[in-house]
Chain A
Amino acid sequence: LGLALYAGSLCAVSGATFLYHDYCVIGAGPAGLQAAYFLQQAGRDYVVFERSHAPGSFFALYPRHRKLISINKQYTGKSNSEFNLRHDWNSLLSHDRRLLFRHYSRDFFPNADTMVRYLEDFASLLKLQVQYNTAIIHVTLEKNEQAWNGHYFLLTDQDRKNYKCSSLLVAAGMWVPNVVNFPGSEYVEGYETVSINPEDFAGQTVLILGRGNSAFETAENILGVTNFIHMVSRSRVRLSWATHYVGDLRAINNGLLDTYQLKSLDGLLEGDLEDLAIVKDKKGKLHITLRFYLENRNISKGIDSITLPQDELDNFATRAPYDRVIRCLGWKFDFSIYNRSLRMMPGKGNIKKYPQIKPSYESKGARGLFVLGTASHSVDFRKSAGGFIHGFRYTTRAVHRLLENRHHGVPWPSTVYPVTQLTNSIIKRVNEASGLYQMFSVLADIILLRENATAFEYLEEYPIGVLAELEMQTGRKAHNGLFVIIMEYGRNFSGADKDVFYYNRAVGEAQHAWQSNFLHPVIYYYKHLPTEREMKLRPPDWPLPRPDAIHHIVEDFLTDWTAPNAHILPLRRFLENCLSTDLRNFFAESCFLFAFTHQKLPPFCQQGYLRMQGLVGSQELWHHAVQAGLLQDYTHTDFSGDRPPDSHDGSQEQLMRDHAIPVRPLQHLVNAKDE
Chain B
Amino acid sequence: MSAQKDRWVPSVVFLLFCASSIPRSGSVGLQQEPSPQHYFSGLEAGRASLAFFSPSVSAGAQPFLEQIESSAEALQDYGISVVKVNCPKEDVSRYCGKENALRKAFLFRGTRLIREFPTDALFDVNSIVANVLFALLFNEVKYVETLADLENMENVLKGKSNMVFAYVPATGTAEHRAVMEAAFVYGTIHQFVLTTEAALLKATSHDDPDVSSAWLLFCHCQQATDPAQPCRRTALGQPLTLLNIHRHLKLMGAPLVTEVAEDPEKVSTVHLQLGLPLVFILSHKETYEADRRTAEFVAWQLLGKAGVALLSRDLVDLNVLHRSNIALKTPDEGMPIQYLVLEDTDEVITLVEDKNKVKQIQEDEQEEEGEEEDEKENNNQDIQDDQVVEAVSRDKKRELPLEQILVLTEENFHSSLLEAARTVVLFYASWEAVSLAVLRSYSDVAAHLKGTSGVVLSRVNCWDWPGLCSQENVTQFPTIRIYKEGQQSATYDGMWGTEELSSFILLSQVSCPLKLATVDEAEGYLRGEFPSELSSHRHTSLLGVFSTATGEAREAFEEAGNILSGHVRMGMYFEDDALALSRKYSVSPPALLLARSGGRSVEGITLSKPSVQDMVQMIRYELLDVF
Q: Report A's interface with B, CB cutoff 8 A.
A: 78-82, 415, 417-418, 421, 424, 427-428, 431-432, 510-511, 562, 564-565, 568-570, 572-573, 584-588, 590, 611-618, 620-622, 624-625, 627-628, 630-631, 661-663, 668-669
Stretch at the interface among B131-139, B491-499, B506-514: B491-499
A427→B388 contact, CB < 8 A: no
A620→B386 contact, CB < 8 A: no
B467→A81 contact, CB < 8 A: yes
Stretch at the interface among B107-115, B175-183, B434-442: B434-442
Given the interface pairs A78-B464, A80-B466, A427-B431, the reply to whether A624 lies near B496 with Cβ below 8 Å is no
Stretch at the interface among B265-273, B302-310, B390-398: B390-398
Chain A neighbourhood of B434, CB < 8 A:
585, 615
Stretch at the interface among B25-33, B201-209, B375-383: B375-383
Chain B neighbourhood of A427, CB < 8 A:
431-432
B494→A612 contact, CB < 8 A: yes
Assembly CA distance A208 to B425 (angstroms): 62
Closest to B376 in A: A662
B593: Cβ under 8 A from any A Cβ = no
A79→B464 contact, CB < 8 A: yes
Given the interface pairs A424-B432, A565-B382, the reply to whether A612 lies near B495 with Cβ below 8 Å is yes
Q: Shortest distance in angstroms between B444's beta carbon and chain A's nearest beta carbon?
A: 7
Chain A neighbourhood of B465, CB < 8 A:
79-81
Q: Would you give 29 A-B contacts (Cβ < 8 Å), ordered by A?
A: A78-B464, A79-B409, A79-B410, A79-B465, A415-B475, A424-B429, A427-B432, A510-B382, A564-B384, A569-B382, A570-B381, A572-B386, A573-B381, A585-B386, A588-B497, A613-B495, A613-B496, A615-B496, A616-B441, A617-B440, A617-B441, A617-B496, A618-B441, A618-B444, A622-B391, A625-B387, A628-B387, A631-B391, A661-B383
Assembly CA distance A624 to B463 (angstroms): 25
Chain B neighbourhood of A627, CB < 8 A:
394
Partner of A587, one of B387, B394, B494: B387
Chain B neighbourhood of A415, CB < 8 A:
475
Chain B neighbourhood of A669, CB < 8 A:
387
Chain A neighbourhood of B438, CB < 8 A:
615
B475→A564 contact, CB < 8 A: no
Assembly CA distance A562 to B389 (angstroms): 12
Partner of A616, one of B379, B391, B476, B495: B495
Q: Shortest distance in angstroms between A37's beta carbon and chain B's nearest beta carbon?
A: 17
B498→A618 contact, CB < 8 A: yes
Assembly CA distance A510 to B384 (angstroms): 13
Closest to B465 in A: A79
Assembly CA distance A421 to B474 (angstroms): 13
B394→A628 contact, CB < 8 A: yes
The A-contacting residues of B in range 573-608, CB under 8 angstroms, are none
State the 6 A-B residue pairs at the shortest beta-carbon distance, nearest first.
Answer: A616-B497, A562-B431, A630-B387, A585-B388, A624-B391, A624-B394
Given the interface pairs A615-B438, A615-B496, A617-B391, the reply to whether A630 lies near B466 with Cβ below 8 Å is no
A621→B391 contact, CB < 8 A: yes
Chain A neighbourhood of B437, CB < 8 A:
615, 617-618, 621
B385→A584 contact, CB < 8 A: yes
B426: Cβ under 8 A from any A Cβ = no
Closest to A565 in B: B384
**Knowing that A80-B465, A432-B463 are A-B contacts, what are 6 other residue pairs whose CB atoms are under 8 Å apart, sorted by A's residue number?**
A428-B429, A431-B463, A510-B382, A564-B433, A587-B387, A628-B387
Assembly CA distance A611 to B437 (angstroms): 19
Q: Shortest distance in angstroms between A420's beta carbon and chain B's nearest beta carbon?
A: 8
Q: Shortest distance in angstroms between A94's beta carbon and chain B's nearest beta carbon?
A: 12
B385→A668 contact, CB < 8 A: yes
Chain B neighbourhood of A625, CB < 8 A:
387-388, 390-391
Q: Shortest distance in angstroms between B90's beta carbon and chain A's nearest beta carbon?
A: 60
B388→A424 contact, CB < 8 A: no
B477: Cβ under 8 A from any A Cβ = yes
Chain A neighbourhood of B496, CB < 8 A:
613-617
Q: Shortest distance in angstroms between B461's beta carbon and chain A's nearest beta carbon?
A: 9
A614→B495 contact, CB < 8 A: yes
Chain A neighbourhood of B388, CB < 8 A:
584-587, 615, 617, 621, 625
> Which of B398, B433, B444 is most buried by chain A, counting CB atoms within 10 A of its CB?
B433
The A-contacting residues of B in range 475-501, CB under 8 angstroms, are 475-477, 493-498, 500
Assembly CA distance A7 to B560 (angstroms): 78
The A-contacting residues of B in range 23-47, CB under 8 angstroms, are none
Chain B neighbourhood of A80, CB < 8 A:
463-466
The A-contacting residues of B in range 304-358, CB under 8 angstroms, are none
Assembly CA distance A669 to B390 (angstroms): 13
Chain A neighbourhood of B384, CB < 8 A:
564-565, 569, 628
B394→A432 contact, CB < 8 A: no
Partner of B500, one of A616, A621, A661: A616
Chain B neighbourhood of A78, CB < 8 A:
464
Chain A neighbourhood of B379, CB < 8 A:
662
Given the interface pairs A564-B393, A613-B496, A628-B394, the reply to whether A663 lies near B383 with Cβ below 8 Å is yes
Q: Shortest distance in angstroms between B431's beta carbon and chain A's nearest beta carbon?
A: 4
Chain B neighbourhood of A565, CB < 8 A:
382, 384, 393
Closest to A569 in B: B384
Assembly CA distance A245 to B371 (angstroms): 43
Assembly CA distance A590 to B410 (angstroms): 37
Assembly CA distance A663 to B376 (angstroms): 10
> Which of B388, B463, B466, B500 is most buried by chain A, counting CB atoms within 10 A of its CB?
B388
Closest to A631 in B: B387
A663→B476 contact, CB < 8 A: no
Chain B neighbourhood of A618, CB < 8 A:
437, 440-441, 444, 498
A613→B387 contact, CB < 8 A: no
Assembly CA distance A82 to B463 (angstroms): 10
